[in-house]
Amino acid sequence: MEHTPLDGKNQVAAEQIFGGRLPLAQRYVKHLATSGIERGLIGPREVPRLWERHVLNCAVIQELISEGASVVDVGSGAGLPGLCLAIARPDLKLTLIEPLERRVNWLNEVVEDLGLENVTVFRSRAEQAVGAVEADVVTARAVSALVGLVDITLPILRGTGELLALKGRSAAEEVAKTKKKLNRYGARQAEILTVGEGLLDEPTTVVRIQL
């Protein structure tokens, strides 16, 4: 059975983002649609929109990340966006931080099956990972509101680097609520970016915070 086949605009976007590694991305989506559902990492209703709402939505942020960067994905869950970035960008060094054992086990199985040599899965809460992992960039999706997210992500950067937080329509409001806290962390800039315009039906909204 073919799970969540690519079609139309999604096919074009996937080819542009993943290039020759598209078969790996397709295998990843198959994992999401099968064992990912069975183990509760993804809701069954998400299967028809795995490509557009999850995988492409995450992978498109790769254009914001410099060549050869070390990336830490906080609260990686089903590997969104961490595994998407690892597949799209073999030059990146990814560390997926996830506290729940069943999710860590699933991530390790997928990483092994796809042969992703640029990925390490680290079982930990984000707060406990400070000093144990190195990052030029920290990513997060659907972890918490920005005002709480900065407390568990910015310390990982140890004073230099950037946070890329995938957000929705509330991005501007969340940034406004976080302004005072960002000043305390010495953030140089907080901006809201739209990525994937012209490529995705629904472009991805990213809050980028630079230290």
To the question of whether residue 13 is assigned a binding role by annotation, the answer is no
To the question of whether residue 75 is assigned a binding role by annotation, the answer is yes
Using CA atoms, how far apart are residues 45 and 74, in angstroms rounded to an integer?
24
3-state secondary structure of 21: helix
Query: 201: which residues sit within 8 A by CB, 6+ positions away?
Result: 9, 52
Q: Which two tokens stand for residue 131?
A: 């000093």
Q: Are 126 and 156 in contact (CB under 8 A)?
A: yes
Using CA atoms, how far apart are residues 191 and 127, in angstroms rounded to an integer?
24
First to last CA, the chain: 47
3-state secondary structure of 75: coil
Using CA atoms, how far apart are residues 86 and 144, in angstroms rounded to an integer?
23
At CA 51, angle to CA 41 and CA 191, rounded to 5? 90
To the question of whether residue 86 is assigned a binding role by annotation, the answer is no
Residue ranges of the binding site for S-adenosyl-L-methionine: 75, 80, 126-127, 141
Q: Indicate the annotated binding residues.
A: 75, 80, 126-127, 141
